[in-house]
């Protein structure tokens, strides 16, 4: 059994360059060096106590059997309520599937809709796993270079321009990882309509919804029922390690999604589903809103400092917990910049090439998933590093 027998799809999947940085960061930490982590796509806050308590309470019943493949009916109902309350949209409960994180949601969404050889349009830069999921099914991510002009989002015009007979659909992530930028409500609506008119599938990655500062994020469900919406309890709700998210599918895909979920997951973690029931409690939301406010303060601090240091961020990010900064004033090799910065100053950041090819060497992603005191020290170290 030889290495060259590894399935071809694996070679299509790009590695995470940040892993090399992470490994080095661990070595440095083992040597006693203080490292500030600004590379991590995970909130530093613990899971809210009401969710933890709900988990403990459920565990005490001792009942941790399989749920239905589509998930706990009560949780699907609560998500439908959430759409009604937060966005004013009505989503039929049977279209909502509970999944093992947003990863599971994307796996299902593409599994039921993307054929081998078909293309999926998405922005460059974007979250790298999105294109890798297309490769998993022998599909192909067709990335569209985006910049400040379109808030780093693909638009109806770009979709129409890049659409070919092999295109199956388009994926928009708003707020975006790595740029933290949002698509406007109107642009989202037009993108949804463009894809619908082209007869394709629209995939809306809304996993950073909730983490939005001074703006409002629209769900694609406001504009059409014929969309796939990927969401998660990981980011806003602080449930990363629980691996629970959800997928909304068009009516025509409900049966196919259920069949696929039964086969590839059986079901999502029962305990995580029961705990997630507490995610929508007022006491949880109050806590999450405080955290959102803290993220906003970090964003403001970091954004101002980066600009002051000479980094270029032409669109002020309004969501998620990332700033995607142009570092071309200092380097034309952002990966080397990140490695050197870690080595000399002990701050870990993510190089642009983890998110695509377009001007990737001139960009760095800074995650503000650490306390403002740490961000302050990191910026002092950055100032020292570049001067």
Site residues for a second copy, 254-293, by CB under 8 A, read 256, 259-260, 262-272
Is 253 among the residues that bind a second copy (CB under 8 A)?
yes
Query: Which CB atom, from 258 or from 345, has the smaller least distance to a second copy?
Result: 258
Q: The tokens of 301 are what? A: 């601090």
Q: Could you give the CA distance from residue 83 to residue 15 in angstroms, rounded to a whole number? A: 36
Residue 346, SS3? coil
Q: Could you give the CA distance from residue 3 to residue 178 in angstroms, rounded to a whole number? A: 33
Given 137, 324, 341, 366, the residue binding a second copy (CB under 8 A) = 137
Determine contact, residues 316/214, Cβ cutoff 8 Å: no
Q: Could you give the CA distance from residue 107 to residue 80 in angstroms, rounded to a whole number? A: 21
Is 35 among the residues that bind a second copy (CB under 8 A)?
no
Q: In this chain, which stretch among 73-81, 87-95, 109-117, 152-160 interacts with a second copy, using CB under 8 A?
A: 109-117
- Gyration radius of the chain over CA positions: 21
Given 38, 98, 114, 220, the residue binding a second copy (CB under 8 A) = 114
Determine contact, residues 364/349, Cβ cutoff 8 Å: yes
Per-residue binder mask for a second copy (CB under 8 A), 198-237, x = binder:
-xxx------------------------x-----------
Determine contact, residues 366/325, Cβ cutoff 8 Å: yes
- φ, ψ for residue 44, nearest 5 deg: -80, -10
Determine contact, residues 212/319, Cβ cutoff 8 Å: yes
Q: How far is the CB of 44 from a second copy (least distance, A)?
A: 9
Per-residue binder mask for a second copy (CB under 8 A), 68-97, x = binder:
------------------------------
Q: How many helices (H) and strands (E) does the chain have?
A: 13, 12
Query: Which CB atom, from 5 or from 387, has the smaller least distance to a second copy?
Result: 5
Is 66 among the residues that bind a second copy (CB under 8 A)?
yes
Q: In this chain, which stretch among 57-65, 143-151, 280-288, 379-387 interacts with a second copy, using CB under 8 A?
A: 57-65
The residue count for binding a second copy (CB under 8 A) is: 72
Is 59 among the residues that bind a second copy (CB under 8 A)?
yes
Given 42, 147, 312, 333, the residue binding a second copy (CB under 8 A) = 42
Is 49 among the residues that bind a second copy (CB under 8 A)?
yes
Query: Which CB atom, from 65 or from 165, has the smaller least distance to a second copy?
Result: 65
Q: In this chain, which stretch among 45-53, 146-154, 311-319, 324-332 interacts with a second copy, using CB under 8 A?
A: 45-53
Q: The tokens of 79 are what? A: 């998500």
Given 3, 88, 165, 387, the residue binding a second copy (CB under 8 A) = 3
Could you give the residue ranges of the DSSP H alpha helices within 14-83? Answer: 18-30, 49-61, 73-82
Q: The tokens of 148 are what? A: 């400040």
Is 64 among the residues that bind a second copy (CB under 8 A)?
yes
Query: Which CB atom, from 19 or from 148, has the smaller least distance to a second copy?
Result: 19
- φ, ψ for residue 280, nearest 5 deg: -95, 5
Query: Which CB atom, from 233 or from 303, has the smaller least distance to a second copy?
Result: 233
How many other C-beta atoms can be found within 10 angstroms of the C-beta atom of residue 163? 19
Q: How far is the CB of 69 from a second copy (least distance, A)?
A: 10
Is 138 among the residues that bind a second copy (CB under 8 A)?
yes
Q: The tokens of 196 are what? A: 């619908």
Q: How far is the CB of 377 from a second copy (least distance, A)?
A: 22
Could you give the residue ranges of the DSSP H alpha helices within the chain? Answer: 8-12, 18-30, 49-61, 73-82, 101-113, 128-136, 156-162, 185-197, 254-264, 270-276, 282-309, 334-345, 372-386
Residue list 172-201, contact with a second copy (CB under 8 A): 196, 199-201
Query: Which CB atom, from 135 or from 150, has the smaller least distance to a second copy?
Result: 135
Residue list 318-357, contact with a second copy (CB under 8 A): none
């Amino acid at each position: 059994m030889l290495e060259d027998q590894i399935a071809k799809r694996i070679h299509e999947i790009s590695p995470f360059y940040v892993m090399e940085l992470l490994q080095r960061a661990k070595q440095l930490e083992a040597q006693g060096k203080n490292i500030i982590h600004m590379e991590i796509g995970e909130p530093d806050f613990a899971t809210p106590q009401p969710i933890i308590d709900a988990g403990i309470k459920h565990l005490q019943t001792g009942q941790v059997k399989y749920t239905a493949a589509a998930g706990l009916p009560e949780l699907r109902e609560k998500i439908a309520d959430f759409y009604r309350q937060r966005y004013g949209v009505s989503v039929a409960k049977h279209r909502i599937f509970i999944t093992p994180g947003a990863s599971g949601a994307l796996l299902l969404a593409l599994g039921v809709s993307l054929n081998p050889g078909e293309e999926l349009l998405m922005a460059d830069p974007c979250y790298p796993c999105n294109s890798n999921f297309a490769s998993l099914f022998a599909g192909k991510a067709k990335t569209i270079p985006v910049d400040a002009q379109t808030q780093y989002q693909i638009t109806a015009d770009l979709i129409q321009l890049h659409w070919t007979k092999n295109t199956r659909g388009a994926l928009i992530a708003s707020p975006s990882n790595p740029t933290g930028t949002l698509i406007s409500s109107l642009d989202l609506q037009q993108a949804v309509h463009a894809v619908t008119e082209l007869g394709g599938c629209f995939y809306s990655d809304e996993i950073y919804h909730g983490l939005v500062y001074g703006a409002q994020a629209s769900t694609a469900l406001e504009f059409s029922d014929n969309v796939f919406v990927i969401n998660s309890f990981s980011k806003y709700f602080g449930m990363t390690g629980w691996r629970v998210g959800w997928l909304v599918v068009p009516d025509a895909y409900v049966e196919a999604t259920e069949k696929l979920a039964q086969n590839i997951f059986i079901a999502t973690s029962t305990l995580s589903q029961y705990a997630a029931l507490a995610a929508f409690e007022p006491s949880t939301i109050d806590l999450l809103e405080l955290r959102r406010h803290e993220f906003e303060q970090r964003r403001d601090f970091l954004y101002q400092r980066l600009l002051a240091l000479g980094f270029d961020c032409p669109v002020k990010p309004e969501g998620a917990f990332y700033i995607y900064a142009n570092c071309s004033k200092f380097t034309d090799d952002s990966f080397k910049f990140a490695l050197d910065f870690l080595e000399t100053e002990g701050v870990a950041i993510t190089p642009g090439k983890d998110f695509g090819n377009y001007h990737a060497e001139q960009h760095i992603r800074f995650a503000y998933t650490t306390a403002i005191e740490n961000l302050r020290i990191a910026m002092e170290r950055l100032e020292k590093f570049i001067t």
